[in-house]
Structure 1
Amino acid sequence: MFRHIVLIKTAAPAEVRAILDTLPGLRGRVPGLVAVDVFGNASQYHRGFEQCFVMDFTDAGALAAWDDHPAHPPIRDALLRLSELVVVDHPVPGAA
Protein backbone atom coordinates (compact mmCIF):
# COMPACT_ATOMS: atom_id res chain seq x y z
CA MET A 1 0.00 0.00 0.00
CA PHE A 2 1.12 3.54 -0.72
CA ARG A 3 -0.11 6.55 1.26
CA HIS A 4 -0.52 10.05 -0.23
CA ILE A 5 -0.60 12.74 2.50
CA VAL A 6 -1.38 16.38 1.75
CA LEU A 7 -1.11 19.21 4.29
CA ILE A 8 -2.80 22.47 3.33
CA LYS A 9 -2.24 26.07 4.38
CA THR A 10 -4.86 28.43 2.98
CA ALA A 11 -6.46 31.83 3.35
CA ALA A 12 -9.66 30.37 1.85
CA PRO A 13 -10.58 27.54 4.24
CA ALA A 14 -14.24 27.27 3.23
CA GLU A 15 -13.39 26.95 -0.47
CA VAL A 16 -10.69 24.39 0.24
CA ARG A 17 -13.00 22.41 2.53
CA ALA A 18 -15.60 22.26 -0.24
CA ILE A 19 -12.99 20.70 -2.52
CA LEU A 20 -11.82 18.28 0.18
CA ASP A 21 -15.39 17.18 0.86
CA THR A 22 -15.52 15.75 -2.69
CA LEU A 23 -12.52 13.46 -2.15
CA PRO A 24 -14.27 10.54 -0.37
CA GLY A 25 -16.54 10.24 -3.43
CA LEU A 26 -13.51 9.24 -5.51
CA ARG A 27 -13.38 5.82 -3.88
CA GLY A 28 -14.66 3.32 -6.39
CA ARG A 29 -14.02 5.76 -9.25
CA VAL A 30 -10.20 5.87 -9.08
CA PRO A 31 -8.52 2.51 -9.69
CA GLY A 32 -6.44 1.39 -6.72
CA LEU A 33 -7.77 4.03 -4.33
CA VAL A 34 -8.76 2.12 -1.20
CA ALA A 35 -9.29 4.83 1.43
CA VAL A 36 -9.67 8.59 1.78
CA ASP A 37 -9.57 10.52 5.04
CA VAL A 38 -10.12 14.31 5.25
CA PHE A 39 -9.42 16.01 8.57
CA GLY A 40 -8.23 19.09 10.41
CA ASN A 41 -4.76 19.25 11.91
CA ALA A 42 -5.18 19.29 15.69
CA SER A 43 -1.47 19.76 16.43
CA GLN A 44 -0.42 22.96 18.15
CA TYR A 45 2.59 22.90 15.79
CA HIS A 46 0.58 23.04 12.53
CA ARG A 47 2.41 26.18 11.29
CA GLY A 48 -0.74 27.14 9.38
CA PHE A 49 -1.23 23.74 7.72
CA GLU A 50 -4.65 23.28 9.26
CA GLN A 51 -6.42 21.11 6.68
CA CYS A 52 -5.22 17.69 5.56
CA PHE A 53 -6.14 14.61 3.64
CA VAL A 54 -4.77 11.12 3.22
CA MET A 55 -5.38 8.81 0.27
CA ASP A 56 -4.35 5.14 0.43
CA PHE A 57 -3.57 3.36 -2.84
CA THR A 58 -3.02 -0.34 -3.41
CA ASP A 59 0.55 0.24 -4.61
CA ALA A 60 2.99 2.77 -6.08
CA GLY A 61 1.61 2.16 -9.57
CA ALA A 62 -1.93 3.08 -8.50
CA LEU A 63 -0.64 6.26 -6.86
CA ALA A 64 1.33 7.14 -10.01
CA ALA A 65 -1.79 6.53 -12.13
CA TRP A 66 -3.71 9.03 -9.96
CA ASP A 67 -1.60 11.79 -11.56
CA ASP A 68 -3.13 10.94 -14.95
CA HIS A 69 -6.68 10.32 -13.76
CA PRO A 70 -9.13 12.92 -15.18
CA ALA A 71 -10.43 13.79 -11.69
CA HIS A 72 -6.97 14.79 -10.43
CA PRO A 73 -6.07 17.96 -12.42
CA PRO A 74 -9.13 20.03 -11.39
CA ILE A 75 -8.64 19.13 -7.72
CA ARG A 76 -4.88 19.68 -7.81
CA ASP A 77 -5.12 22.94 -9.73
CA ALA A 78 -7.79 24.39 -7.44
CA LEU A 79 -5.84 23.46 -4.32
CA LEU A 80 -2.64 24.94 -5.76
CA ARG A 81 -4.48 28.15 -6.67
CA LEU A 82 -5.96 28.52 -3.17
CA SER A 83 -3.24 27.05 -0.97
CA GLU A 84 0.28 26.15 -0.09
CA LEU A 85 0.69 22.37 -0.02
CA VAL A 86 3.09 19.89 1.51
CA VAL A 87 2.81 16.43 -0.05
CA VAL A 88 4.29 13.22 1.36
CA ASP A 89 4.02 9.88 -0.44
CA HIS A 90 5.30 6.75 1.24
CA PRO A 91 4.91 2.99 1.36
CA VAL A 92 2.93 1.76 4.36
CA PRO A 93 5.09 -0.70 6.30
CA GLY A 94 3.46 -4.09 6.79
CA ALA A 95 0.51 -3.31 4.52
CA ALA A 96 -0.28 -5.78 1.76
Structure 2
Amino acid sequence: MSISYAELRDGVVEVNGFVAGVLEDGGTCTATVTSGGQTVSASAAAFADATVTWCDPITVDAPNAKVGDEVTLEYRSATTSGRATAPIGAP
Protein backbone atom coordinates (compact mmCIF):
# COMPACT_ATOMS: atom_id res chain seq x y z
CA MET A 1 0.00 0.00 0.00
CA SER A 2 1.32 3.43 -0.95
CA ILE A 3 -0.12 6.90 -0.51
CA SER A 4 0.12 9.01 -3.66
CA TYR A 5 -0.90 12.22 -1.94
CA ALA A 6 -2.58 13.53 1.21
CA GLU A 7 -3.47 17.21 1.02
CA LEU A 8 -5.33 19.57 3.35
CA ARG A 9 -7.70 22.17 1.89
CA ASP A 10 -10.17 24.16 4.01
CA GLY A 11 -10.68 21.49 6.67
CA VAL A 12 -10.86 18.60 4.20
CA VAL A 13 -8.09 16.06 3.68
CA GLU A 14 -7.98 14.50 0.21
CA VAL A 15 -6.10 11.19 0.02
CA ASN A 16 -5.29 8.79 -2.79
CA GLY A 17 -3.15 5.69 -3.01
CA PHE A 18 -2.64 2.29 -4.57
CA VAL A 19 -1.76 -1.32 -3.82
CA ALA A 20 1.19 -2.54 -5.89
CA GLY A 21 1.24 -6.16 -7.02
CA VAL A 22 -2.53 -6.54 -6.64
CA LEU A 23 -5.01 -6.40 -9.52
CA GLU A 24 -8.57 -6.68 -8.26
CA ASP A 25 -11.86 -4.83 -8.17
CA GLY A 26 -14.19 -4.78 -5.19
CA GLY A 27 -11.86 -3.80 -2.38
CA THR A 28 -12.36 -0.82 -0.08
CA CYS A 29 -9.93 1.93 0.87
CA THR A 30 -10.36 3.81 4.15
CA ALA A 31 -8.52 7.00 5.09
CA THR A 32 -8.26 7.93 8.78
CA VAL A 33 -7.09 11.29 10.12
CA THR A 34 -6.41 11.85 13.82
CA SER A 35 -5.93 15.43 14.95
CA GLY A 36 -6.72 17.40 18.06
CA GLY A 37 -8.01 14.30 19.84
CA GLN A 38 -10.55 13.60 17.10
CA THR A 39 -10.43 10.67 14.68
CA VAL A 40 -12.39 10.85 11.44
CA SER A 41 -12.54 8.39 8.54
CA ALA A 42 -14.01 8.05 5.09
CA SER A 43 -14.00 5.19 2.58
CA ALA A 44 -14.05 4.70 -1.17
CA ALA A 45 -14.04 1.84 -3.63
CA ALA A 46 -10.90 0.46 -5.21
CA PHE A 47 -10.39 -0.63 -8.82
CA ALA A 48 -7.76 -2.43 -10.84
CA ASP A 49 -5.89 -0.81 -13.69
CA ALA A 50 -3.15 -2.36 -15.84
CA THR A 51 -0.53 -2.66 -13.09
CA VAL A 52 -1.94 -1.85 -9.61
CA THR A 53 -5.17 -1.49 -7.64
CA TRP A 54 -6.07 2.18 -7.09
CA CYS A 55 -8.25 3.76 -4.45
CA ASP A 56 -10.79 6.28 -5.68
CA PRO A 57 -9.80 9.67 -4.21
CA ILE A 58 -11.09 9.95 -0.63
CA THR A 59 -12.14 13.18 1.07
CA VAL A 60 -12.19 13.24 4.87
CA ASP A 61 -13.96 16.11 6.63
CA ALA A 62 -11.31 16.91 9.25
CA PRO A 63 -11.76 20.48 10.55
CA ASN A 64 -9.07 20.02 13.25
CA ALA A 65 -6.42 18.68 10.86
CA LYS A 66 -3.17 20.55 10.29
CA VAL A 67 -0.42 20.19 7.73
CA GLY A 68 2.00 17.63 9.17
CA ASP A 69 -0.65 15.51 10.92
CA GLU A 70 -0.67 11.89 9.82
CA VAL A 71 -3.22 10.12 7.67
CA THR A 72 -3.52 6.34 7.46
CA LEU A 73 -4.80 4.67 4.30
CA GLU A 74 -5.99 1.08 4.55
CA TYR A 75 -7.01 -1.33 1.81
CA ARG A 76 -9.14 -4.41 2.42
CA SER A 77 -10.65 -7.02 0.14
CA ALA A 78 -11.63 -10.66 0.52
CA THR A 79 -8.02 -11.70 -0.16
CA THR A 80 -5.73 -8.73 0.50
CA SER A 81 -5.10 -6.02 3.06
CA GLY A 82 -2.54 -3.26 3.37
CA ARG A 83 -1.82 -0.05 5.25
CA ALA A 84 0.29 3.06 4.75
CA THR A 85 0.80 6.23 6.77
CA ALA A 86 1.99 9.63 5.56
CA PRO A 87 2.02 13.24 6.74
CA ILE A 88 -0.67 15.56 5.45
CA GLY A 89 0.73 18.21 3.15
CA ALA A 90 -0.46 21.46 1.66
CA PRO A 91 -1.82 21.46 -1.89
Structure 1-normalised TM-score? 0.36
Larger Rg: 1
Say which structure is richer in strand.
2
Say which structure is richer in helix.
1
Structure 2-normalised TM-score? 0.37
